[in-house]
């Protein structure tokens, strides 16, 4: 794979066309892609010059990577760096998974998906990639503060604003699906809410390419991957006849996310993950209106949207993210029009009262002058 003079990864146009064509043919046949687009070995990554990135502090650690806040001397900005520090002790499959996550995220250029800037090997040979530093907070934290009745979050993050957040997450997932990628780990922990209205979906570590009929490919069989409470039944089931994991699994997770935004609680509770997974397979979540916070009014229309998105059978769910998003948007539009009507009626009544007051005042002055 050739590289350009700036030491960034490039793919020859002819090679790219051949790779994509081979992948499309294999996907049409139901087989896995060649992997040329996202999977590669450490040897194929460029070695980056020492000194460009200056460590500021550690942000966190999870899975196979640590995330650092670094200063990029070339661009003069703070960015986040994901690094695999123990790469020498890890198998090649972990290296490939790390690189795959970086390249899938970079492939998905969208305003509501975290941006990847660079990928390579550091001076010690450890693989890394850099991405935008998200300065907001996870949606989980926002919802927790609303439940705690924190003054700002409780007043600012109204249902209307929470539904706007949902729409932006749908935009991100819908775009990924249009590029034949499914996320498979959509949950409040993986959504960042910025101070100025930014909404970013991140952590594409479980993401997979999909066939043209929406089925995920290149997934390891027999391994449970995802987050209990937001995983679709087909992600949990070990039944070989269970529906395939894929785009519809993301629609289930979006339904669970909508439920959480409405109720401030996850749809399936339990004393441990095993109980949550069992409920996901065997039970419907409680009605949102029944567990909503005190004083909250949950529309029956939105309850039905949640129920359809979270149907046990993928065939009973919304056919696409767009269809789900439009169902929520239809509710928002009706609420907006109703609100506009009530405001206009209120202004009309106020205007009539004012005119009556002026008329009565004029009549009173007239009769006083006559007397």
Please give the helix or strand (H or E) that residue 138 lies within, else none.
Answer: strand 137-138
Closest CA relative to residue 171, chosen from 329, 5, 41, 3: 329
- Does the active-site annotation cover 272? no
Catalytic residue among 185, 203, 284, 313: 185
- End-to-end CA, the chain: 102
Question: Which phi and psi angles does 39 have, rounded to 5°?
Answer: -100, 130
The tokens describing 79, both together, are 């960015």
Calpha distance 41→51 (Å, rounded): 24
Q: For every residue of 87-153, which 3-state class applies, written as one string?
A: HHHCCHHHHHHHHHHHHHHHHCCCCCECCEEEEEECCCCCEEEEECCCCCEEHHHHHHHHHCCCHHH
Calpha distance 130→127 (Å, rounded): 11
Residue 312, helix vs strand vs coil: coil
Calpha distance 362→360 (Å, rounded): 5
Residue 50, helix vs strand vs coil: coil
The tokens describing 98, both together, are 């790390």
CA distances in angstroms from 243 to 139, 206, 318, 324, 328, listed in the order given: 30, 18, 15, 20, 26
8 A C-beta contact, residue 234 and residue 242 = yes
Strand partners, 58: 68
Query: How big is the chain, counted in residues?
Result: 371
Closest CA relative to residue 207, chosen from 165, 243, 257, 246: 246
Find the angle CA(15)-CA(9)-CA(7) to the nearest 5 degrees: 130
The tokens describing 354, both together, are 């004012």
Find the angle CA(236)-CA(241)-CA(247) to the nearest 5 degrees: 55
Active site residues: 185
């Amino acid at each position: 794979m050739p590289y350009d003079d700036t030491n960034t990864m490039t793919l020859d146009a002819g090679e790219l066309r051949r790779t994509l064509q081979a992948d499309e043919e294999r996907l049409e046949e139901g087989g896995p892609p060649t992997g040329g687009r996202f999977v590669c070995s450490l040897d194929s990554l460029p070695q980056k010059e020492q000194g460009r990135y200056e460590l500021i502090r550690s942000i966190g650690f999870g899975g196979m990577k640590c995330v650092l806040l670094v200063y990029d001397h070339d661009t003069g900005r703070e960015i986040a760096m994901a690094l695999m520090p123990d790469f020498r002790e890890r198998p090649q499959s972990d290296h490939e998974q790390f690189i795959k996550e970086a390249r899938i995220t970079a492939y998905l250029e969208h305003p509501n998906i975290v941006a990847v800037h660079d990928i390579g090997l550091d001076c010690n040979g450890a693989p890394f990639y850099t991405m935008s530093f998200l300065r907001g907070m996870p949606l989980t934290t926002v919802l927790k503060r609303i439940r705690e009745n924190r003054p700002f979050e409780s007043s600012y993050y109204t249902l209307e604003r929470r539904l706007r957040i949902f729409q932006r997450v749908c935009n991100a997932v819908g775009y990924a699906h249009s590029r034949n990628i499914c996320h498979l780990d959509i949950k409040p922990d993986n959504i960042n809410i910025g101070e100025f209205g930014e909404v970013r979906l991140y952590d594409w570590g479980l993401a997979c390419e999909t066939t043209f009929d929406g089925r995920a490919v290149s997934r390891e069989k027999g391994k449970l991957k995802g987050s209990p409470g937001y995983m679709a039944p087909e992600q949990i089931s070990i039944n070989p006849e269970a529906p395939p994991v894929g785009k519809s699994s993301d629609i289930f997770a979006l339904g669970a996310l909508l439920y959480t935004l409405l109720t401030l609680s996850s749809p399936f509770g339990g004393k441990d993950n095993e109980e949550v997974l069992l409920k996901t397979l065997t039970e419907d979540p409680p009605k949102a209106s029944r567990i909503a916070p005190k004083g909250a009014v949950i529309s029956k229309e939105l309850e039905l949207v949640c129920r359809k998105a979270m149907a046990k059978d993928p065939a009973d769910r919304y056919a696409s993210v767009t269809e789900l998003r439009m169902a929520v948007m239809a509710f928002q539009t009706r609420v907006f029009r109703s609100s506009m009507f009530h405001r206009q009626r209120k202004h009309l009544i106020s205007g009539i009262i004012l005119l009556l007051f002026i008329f009565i005042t004029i009549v009173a002055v007239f009769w006083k002058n006559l007397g």
